[in-house]
Amino acid sequence: MSSSTPVKREGLAVRAMIGFALVFMFAPVLTMIVFSFNDPGGRFNYALGSFSLEAWRHPFAVPQLGVAIRNSLVVAAVSALLAGLLGTPVGFALGRRKFLGRGAVSGLTFIPLATPEVVLGAGMLILFVATATIPLLKTLTGGLFYPLGFPSVIAAHTTLGLSFVIINVRSRVIGAGVTLEQAARDLGASGFTVFRTIWLPIILPGILSGALLTFAISLDDFVLTNFTAGGTTMFPTWLYGLMRRELPPQIAVVGTLIFLVSIGLVALAAKLLGRRTG
Amino acid sequence: MAKAIPLTKPARPRFLKARAGWPEMLPTLAWLVALIVVPLVYILRMSFSADPFALTATGWSLANYADSIPFYWDNLLNSVLIGLSATILAFAIAMPVAYGISFYGGRWKAVLLFAFFAPFLTSYLIRIVAWQTLLGANGPLFGPLQQIAGLEVRVLGTPFAVVAGLTYQLVPFVLLPLHAAFNRIDRTLCAAADDLYSGRCGGRGAAIGAVGGLAIGLLLAAVFFDRGGIFATWPIAFVLAAAGLGAAVGGTMTERFALIVFPLSRNGFIAAAVLSFIPALGDYVNAALLGDIRTQMLGNVIQAKFLVELDYAGAAALSATLLVAAMLLLTLLLRLIRGTELLDVV
């Protein structure tokens, strides 16, 4: 039928665009991988020199690189755990019930996504400073957040991750399980039984994907870390300082490792959680 | 091919009429208020502080705004123009991709979608380093050009490099809401359109595309080439090429996309625009590492004032300006998607 021709042509054009876009998306990744095997011959790994496995043989030969990665991994893990724990009840409530103030809670969840990170980071920085300079806040927080360090970065990253956990859990819950819950309640199931046998299997993938996303965002993030880490050696801020003096190929190696491990984690999670739609 | 179109509307999600569960939510809500609402309100308060170098707000004054906004006008303009350019280019890349994955992805849907997010599983800064490498004069793209042809191409340190890096970071922010919106479209409507001989947009599409291309071309020319120098020969060719490309895309676009998919995914487009333009407005790392002194954005000034100069009040006034712009955009989003739940659009 001749009427299907424009659609067929569209299919071809769209596939070509996807191919072109994939090249754009993976060009930097490929550059990173290629440059991890590079011996630049100078202090900056920006131009191809000769092939070398040196950086892969000694990936942590740059002073403080190991510490920076370890600190960033710890912060990412703790933030993911905290965001998972804190985000679940809100995502669950937003998906399951209509209640007064639901819009306000949704709005509160959305604000971090609709605020420039530099503003959020700056706001958190002056808040953390205020917890040391305003006596009432100082006694309330016990000086935990200033001087800046692990607690302040973790608080910042958890806040960013919370929205993603809430959105993921909510989208799992919405429209699902309500009739099952009503049936179970009619048959006399207690609130706890309903939660354990009906809701937990529904929301668990949402919690895990939200927490995983928080982990990835925390590891990826530069702006909030820059504002809230203070003197703590975190990978992105440490690298930012290092780049002024040198850029060893080990950075590309570590980037490649993070990339491969993250892809492995996501693939594992997808396998564990089974096929998800949406 | 033709299938019967179900005449019933899809069922709305059901909700329980139960207690809200405030006690379980309380710790989280307290956390969000303490770490989002309080800091943002405090920024607003700090921006009216009378003592610029005090670490806590003292007294009231408008001087921070009066001193900083005229002084950093160029940076504000950079944020808006570079941010807008990157947002538009991110749409140009992500829109066909989201449409293609959703409508032509077949069994590769999940894999393709993941492929577009995989590059973001490295590290923000390492991605920018990779762009520095790619665009550098001695890098893999332009290095050989220089060695063989003796051509020295300077891309790093220009607005083009900043826009390229920022566009790259924004692609997922556009792709995700658009893909979600396209996925919700009832495919039987498209089948019906095909049965009714829907074709390509033709002349009208080309006209609209040409106007759109012209506008985008003018904006990009204003950003990429010297400001005010739009009418030198090079930029004119650039703008004309953009208009021609727009006409070609508009003319060959299927009516299926223009008349069915696009209007039905309006909320997705609005969400994608807001969710990509807001981070673009505030970005500063791309400008710092890929640009030069003339491409510095408002974010660069804010971070320098907060972290280097310790001018908290002045920085707060500039942050508050960004914040108000973001909140206005959010309000616009809320108005435009009225009737749909906010969290349903992401």
Partner residue facing A133 (CB), from B55, B122, B284? B55
Distance separating alpha carbons of residues B174 and B273, to the nearest angstrom: 7
Q: Domain residue spans in chain B? A: 66-199+254-345
Which residue in chain B is spatially nearest to A98 when comparing CA positions? B15
Residue A14's pLDDT band, with cuts at 50, 70 and 90, is very high
Residue A1 pLDDT? 41
Residue A4 pLDDT? 53
* Tokens matching residue A135: 């006596």
Q: What is the CA radius of gyration of chain B?
A: 24
Partner residue facing B43 (CB), from A13, A105, A126? A126
Task: Judge: B14–A179 Cβ closer than 8 Å, yes or no.
Answer: yes
Q: Provide the ipTM.
A: 0.89
Which residue in chain A is spatially nearest to B136 when comparing CA positions? A46
Q: Which residue has the higher pLDDT, A96 or A251?
A: A251
Q: Which residue has the higher pLDDT, B84 or B200?
A: B84
- Classify domain A63-247 by CATH number: 1.10.3720.10
Residue A147 pLDDT? 87
Partner residue facing B306 (CB), from A24, A34, A125? A125
* Tokens matching residue B53: 């170098």
Q: Per-residue pLDDT for B3 more than 70?
A: no
- Looking at every residue in chain B, the average pLDDT score rounds to 87
Q: Per-residue pLDDT for B346 more than 80?
A: no
Which residue in chain A is spatially nearest to B165 when comparing CA positions? A28
Residue A24's pLDDT band, with cuts at 50, 70 and 90, is very high
Residue B202 pLDDT? 85
Residue A274 pLDDT? 62
Residue A80's pLDDT band, with cuts at 50, 70 and 90, is very high
Task: Judge: A266–B114 Cβ closer than 8 Å, yes or no.
Answer: yes
Partner residue facing B104 (CB), from A11, A101, A222? A11
Model pLDDT for residues A171-182, shown as the tens digit of each residue: 888 877 778 888
Tell me which chain B residues have a C-beta less than 8 angstroms from the C-beta of A25.
115-116, 119, 168, 171
Q: Mind telling me how many Å the CA of A182 is from chain B's nearest CA?
A: 9
Question: Is B184 an interface residue toward A (CB < 8 Å)?
Answer: no
Residue A21 pLDDT? 96
Q: Which residue has the higher pLDDT, A116 or A50?
A: A116
Which residue in chain B is spatially nearest to A135 when comparing CA positions? B56
CATH 3.90.1170.50 fits B66-199+254-345, yes or no: no
Residue B133 pLDDT? 93
* Tokens matching residue B309: 């100069």
Q: Per-residue pLDDT for B96 more than 50?
A: yes
The model's pTM is 0.90
The closest of B6, B291, B340 to B128, measured between CA atoms, is B291
Which residue in chain A is spatially nearest to B249 when comparing CA positions? A13
Three-class DSSP labels, chain B: CCCCCCCCCCCCCCCECCCCCHHHHHHHHHHHHHHHHHHHHHHHHHCCCCCCCCCCCCCCCCHHHHHHHHHCHHHHHHHHHHHHHHHHHHHHHHHHHHHHHHHHCHHHHHHHHHHHHHHHHCCHHHHHHHHHHHHCCCCCCCHHHHHHHCCCCCCCCCHHHHHHHHHHHHHHHHHHHHHHHHHCCCHHHHHHHHHCCCCECHHHHHHHHHHHHHHHHHHHHHHHCCCCCCCCHHHHHHHHHHHHHHHHHHHHCEHHHHHHHHHHCHHHHHHHHHHHHHHHHHCCHHHHHHCCHHHCCHHHHHHHHHHHHCCHHHHHHHHHHHHHHHHHHHHHHHHHCCCCCHHHHC
Q: Per-residue pLDDT for A278 more than 70?
A: no
Residue A68's pLDDT band, with cuts at 50, 70 and 90, is very high
B291 vs B124, B158, B159, B163, B295, CA distance in Å?
Answer: 16, 5, 6, 9, 6
Residues 76-95 of chain A whose Cβ lies under 8 A from any Cβ of chain B = 86-87, 89-90, 92-94
Q: Domain residue spans in chain A? A: 63-247
Partner residue facing B16 (CB), from A35, A97, A134? A97
DSSP conformation letters of A41-82: SSSBTTS--EE--HHHHSTT-STTHHHHHHHHHHHHHHHHHH
- Looking at every residue in chain A, the average pLDDT score rounds to 89
Residues B287-309, mean pLDDT to the nearest whole number: 92
Model pLDDT for residues A105-142, shown as the tens digit of each residue: 999 999 998 899 999 999 999 999 988 888 888 888 88
Amino acid at A164: F
Q: Per-residue pLDDT for A162 more than 60?
A: yes
- pLDDT above 70 as % of chain B: 92
Tell me which chain A residues have a C-beta less than 8 angstroms from the C-beta of B129.
32, 243, 247, 251
Partner residue facing B143 (CB), from A9, A47, A113? A47
Task: Judge: A31–B134 Cβ closer than 8 Å, yes or no.
Answer: yes
* Tokens matching residue A45: 């790994």
Task: Judge whether B40 and B323 are in contact, CB under 8 Å.
Answer: yes
Distance separating alpha carbons of residues A211 and A217, to the nearest angstrom: 10
